[in-house]
Amino acid sequence: MKLSLLFKISGVILVVNGISMLATPGMAIEMYGMEQTADLVVAMGALGLSFLGTGILTFMLPSWIDDKLAAAGILMGLIQLSWVARVGYDLYAGSISGPPAIINVCVAAILAALFLIMSLRASAQQSSAD
């Protein structure tokens, strides 16, 4: 798998989550085992918009910065690790629950590992070519 494909996969996942949060915020809230309130619906919509925008940027990044993709991939790996830490802590603290949260932690962990491993390999190959 190429690093550019990993960016596209990650972007699609973010866009799908963003659309879900924007179009059906109540469902997204309930999937995480939280009680739906008017304030939380507004916050979920804002989070959905953030996911949507970030997903589009992530999807487009390989076509914009092909020569610096390894550096961007390391950053994406660190961002995914921060999601693992945040959602993992929320699960541990009991703030969120349910299979969707567990699945998101697993997906974020897999993406983090893939981004970091593939980016470090690409960076090493680029350094040896120079």
Contact between 3 and 40 (Cβ < 8 Å): no
Report which DSSP code applies to 97.
Answer: -
Nearest-angstrom CA–CA distance, 68 and 54: 18
Neighbours of 14 (CB within 10 A): 20
This prediction has a pTM of 0.85
| Tens of pLDDT, residues 19-76 | 999 999 998 898 888 889 999 999 999 999 999 999 999 999 999 997 889 999 999 9
Closest CA to 101 of 117, 113, 83, 128: 83
Neighbours of 118 (CB within 10 A): 22
